[in-house]
Amino acid sequence: MNNEQPRPDDVIPRTSARPTGPTLEGFRRHLLDAADRSGVIQAGILEAVVGLLDDYTNAHPGTPVPGRDTLSRRNLHSVASTYRSTQRHPDGDLDGLLDDYAAEFSLADIRILRVAGEAVAAATPRAIKAARDRGMKPPQIADELGLTPSRVYQVLREHDAKDGKKPAADGDQ
């Protein structure tokens, strides 16, 4: 017979009959950590699952995720893609989506995003020129930026004119 009594640290108090698991944010972090340690295919699947979790929490702002960084690249990617697809879809509930974003982002977050957006918009012509200087073709630059090729050619012509260079024909850039 064992006379040894459990130590207080070994006793787990039972507060509920229902088992508890990780928080949604903990599960999300676990998936991202696992993706970092996985091969390309498995990492892509795990990141897609995290994307679904993010999409759900974006669509249901009443379900807060403690510790979630609303300004993270992953969240902002989700915001941008959801906004763009809702804008383009004829039956999209753009007003509802904007209400959700207004509830999700603090005023400080919105200010940061507004100023960051202005800064990135101002830097875009320089980024276009740098990409061309690295050998990218204007149609590829346009595709990556979500612009039309004609807009990229226009930016390059304006930049070249400012630098005093003779503009090349659109197909030659």
The string of pLDDT tens digits covering residues 24-72 is 667 777 888 888 888 888 888 888 888 887 777 777 655 545 566 788 8
The predicted structure's pLDDT at residue 167: 55
Would you state the structure tokens that stand for residue 52, as one six-digit string?
């679904």
Nearest to 127 by CA among 150, 156, 105: 156
**Inter-helix orientation angle 138-145/149-162, to 10°:** 110
The predicted structure's pLDDT at residue 14: 46
The predicted structure's pLDDT at residue 18: 43
Amino acid identity, position 99: D
- Chain mean position to CA 147: 19
The predicted structure's pLDDT at residue 68: 65
- Report residue 1's pLDDT band, with 50, 70 and 90 as the boundaries: very low
Give the three-class secondary structure for 47: helix
| Mean local confidence (pLDDT), 136-148 | 94
Question: Is 112's pLDDT higher than 70?
Answer: yes
The string of pLDDT tens digits covering residues 60-111 is 655 545 566 788 888 888 888 888 888 888 787 888 889 888 888 888 888 9
What sign results for the dihedral spanned by CA atoms 68, 70, 74, 75? positive
Q: How many CB atoms lie within 10 A of CB 139?
A: 14
Alpha carbons 79 and 98: distance in angstroms, whole number? 10
- Report residue 22's pLDDT band, with 50, 70 and 90 as the boundaries: low
